[in-house]
A and B are shown apart, each in its own frame.
Chain A
Amino acid sequence: MSKALNELTIVEAARALRARECTVRELWDACAGAAQAKNPELNAYLELFDADSAAIDAAQRRIDDDGEAAPMLCGIPLAVKDNILIQGRIASAASKMLEGYMATYDATVVRKLKEAGALFLGRTNMDEFAMGSSTEHSAFGHTKNPLDPTRVPGGSSGGSAAAVAAHMCIAALGSDTGGSIRQPASHTGLVGLKPTYGAVSRSGLIALGSSLDQIGPLTKSVEDAHLIFEAIRGEDTLDSTTIPDGLYPLVREEESLRIGVPRHLVEQEGLDPELKSLFDATCARLADASHTLVDIELPTSSSALAAYYVIMPAEVSTNLARLDGIRYGLAGRGAALLDDYLESRSEGFGPETRRRILLGTFVLSSGYIDAYYHKARAARGALRHDYARAFEQCDVIAFPTTTAPAFRFGEKSHDPLSMYLEDVFTVTANLTGMPALSVPMGTVEGLPAGFHLTAPHQGEARLFATARIVEKLPRA
């Protein structure tokens, strides 16, 4: 075999396990070994778990006994973002507030992966409470991009992205509130999926923006993303926002795709010229492969980021109110009960978290709720309407995942607004609830860049089919 075991995709590793080319233990050791060797430099993991021999042996027996009938994820070592609960493990959301918080139950996605026989290598670094686009807002140091250690891996699921890109695991779970799976996937040359809102249970995900959050995969191939999505999706009584199959009109896979491109977004100022030519070249190759490019208009898109930075902080300030130092988490103690709250929250939350809590408190306050929050909700409705109208003319919508390849450390961390602008393309899918995926389209000055695809609600199958086409395109 030419690839090392830890470099395999899920599909390749599952095949190797069934063909007896390796054992589950050998696959685990290869991933855990690479993780131990590279983590001091990259800081992708906040904690590496010891090998769970019982789980490794059980997975091996299942493959031996069931062969092809064993789940594809059986025996596959995965990394999990630090805001997804694994019972008996710390889940800190990379915050001092939850540094010592031990998860009391499994997130639904973790339970499903355990049932499929998947193994967990460790918990990955992230921006604190998933607020950020670089992992620089982690309370436990930033993660480096394995493709260029002077640059950020993206965020907030930057630890998961770095772990997969550096082959410190086979694949990973992240969470995406405004682009936190797709943007790091783009910056590290991976496939990242933000599922339809409600497709995957949020039970056991530490909440950021509850109307926006979804858990999804970061993987080395489109096929792998599809496998993990199928394993974790489904209605869940523990999350009443999960949706049944067929809630939205059926989205068919099409032989010949009509690909909608919002030229007004792609032509905007601030888009890296080389990245733009790469995107245009990718579109041209899709047209050569007998797909049709359609010019579409998404007029409200230009205000999507502004609406997002009202709705998300509003939900943040509400969600994070529960962290008060009383029942769990960091417990500061002062003279009176109010001091207990103040000390716990001031010491426990980092600057970006506090900034967003204040912003959320502001946009929800009585004098401003109409000007900001209600206006943002209206913009969200209009955006959804824009997308619905655009999907009358096309099957998928394409634009670049980010405006430029991965940036250097410190480049944006002192200017919150420039960091927020990292999400300019990705937030729309969270606001509309539609599924979206980033797939590598090539490199810009040696750094990877992602091709971003959006499909109508519950159109993941069409997303995967389209992404597979992009994945197979000849590179320039």
Chain B
Amino acid sequence: MATTEEVQKLASLARITVGEEELERFTREFDTILGYIGQLDSLALSEKGEERPALRNVMREDGEPHATGKYTKKLTEQFPAREGDALVVKQVISHE
């Protein structure tokens, strides 16, 4: 059984605010959903069940970089706040 405190904890881990009413609804729904996916528990799987995929190298050689600044304008245009090409954010570490 999920509790509202647990769901509240998950919400804060996921950086989401959940209102009181929604918290209760999510908690109820969680029970139903977890009840359903709980059927995995009764599944008898051998340790070999999880197959390791065959490995192949998907890395490519570094090279052919795009010209510096090619995307700067397009990307900075999406910034909510900026100074020149710099993204403005709140201070991360406080001195207080």
Residues of chain A touching chain B, judged by Cβ–Cβ distance below 8 Å, are 101-102, 104-105, 237, 240-241, 247, 300, 303, 306-307, 309-310, 317, 321, 324-329, 331, 336-338, 340-343, 345-346, 349, 351, 354-355, 357-359, 361-363, 365, 371-372, 374-382, 384-385, 416-417, 420
- List chain A residues, Cβ under 8 A from B7: 358
29 A-B contact pairs sorted by A residue (CB < 8 Å) = A104-B78, A105-B74, A237-B60, A240-B58, A241-B58, A247-B56, A303-B40, A306-B38, A309-B36, A310-B37, A321-B14, A326-B80, A327-B75, A327-B79, A328-B79, A328-B80, A331-B81, A337-B90, A342-B16, A342-B17, A345-B14, A346-B16, A349-B16, A358-B11, A358-B18, A372-B40, A379-B40, A382-B49, A416-B32
Q: In the complex the two chains form, is A376's CB within 8 Å of B40's CB? A: yes
Known contacts A381-B50, A417-B32: A341-B10 contact under CB 8 Å: no
Q: In the complex the two chains form, is A371's CB within 8 Å of B36's CB? A: no
Looking at chain A's contact residues, is the secondary structure mostly helix, strand, loop, or mixed?
Answer: helix
Residues of chain B touching chain A, judged by Cβ–Cβ distance below 8 Å, are 7, 10-11, 13-18, 22, 26, 29-30, 32-34, 36-41, 43, 45, 49-51, 56, 58-60, 71, 74-75, 77-81, 87, 89-92
In the complex, which of the residues A341, A358, A359, A381 has the most CB atoms of chain B within 10 Å of its own CB atom? A358
In the complex, which of the residues B30, B45, B59, B77 has the most CB atoms of chain A within 10 Å of its own CB atom? B45
- List chain A residues, Cβ under 8 A from B81: 331
Q: In the complex the two chains form, is A371's CB within 8 Å of B45's CB? A: no
Pick the contact of A324: B13, B15, B39, B45 (CB < 8 A).
B15
Q: Total A-B pairs in contact (CB under 8 Å)?
A: 137
Pick the contact of A382: B36, B37, B41, B45 (CB < 8 A).
B45
Q: In the complex the two chains form, is B39's CB within 8 Å of A306's CB? A: yes
**Complex formed: what's the CA distance from A104 to B72 in Å?**
10
Q: A104-B71, A337-B90, A349-B16 are in contact. List 15 more A-B contacts (CB 8 A).
A: A104-B75, A309-B33, A327-B80, A336-B90, A340-B89, A340-B90, A362-B30, A375-B43, A376-B37, A378-B50, A381-B50, A385-B51, A416-B29, A417-B29, A417-B36
Q: In the complex the two chains form, is B30's CB within 8 Å of A359's CB? A: yes
- List chain B residues, Cβ under 8 A from A101: 78
Known contacts A326-B89, A327-B87, A361-B10: A102-B37 contact under CB 8 Å: no
Known contacts A342-B17, A355-B29, A416-B33: A307-B40 contact under CB 8 Å: yes
**Complex formed: what's the CA distance from A307 to B39 in Å?**
9
B32's closest neighbor in chain A, by CB?
A417
How far does the Cβ of A58 sit from chain B's closest Cβ, in whole Å? 24
A332's closest neighbor in chain B, by CB?
B80
- List chain B residues, Cβ under 8 A from A327: 75, 78-80, 87
**Complex formed: what's the CA distance from A303 to B42 in Å?**
10
- List chain B residues, Cβ under 8 A from A357: 14, 16
Q: In the complex the two chains form, is A378's CB within 8 Å of B16's CB? A: no
Q: In the complex the two chains form, is B43's CB within 8 Å of A303's CB? A: yes
Q: In the complex the two chains form, is A345's CB within 8 Å of B45's CB? A: no
Q: In the complex the two chains form, is B16's CB within 8 Å of A358's CB? A: yes
- List chain A residues, Cβ under 8 A from B89: 326, 337, 340
How far does the Cβ of B3 sit from chain A's closest Cβ, in whole Å? 12
Q: In the complex the two chains form, is A417's CB within 8 Å of B91's CB? A: no
**Complex formed: what's the CA distance from A302 to B17 in Å?**
35
Known contacts A104-B75, A351-B22, A361-B13: A381-B40 contact under CB 8 Å: no
Pick the contact of A306: B32, B40, B59, B79 (CB < 8 A).
B40
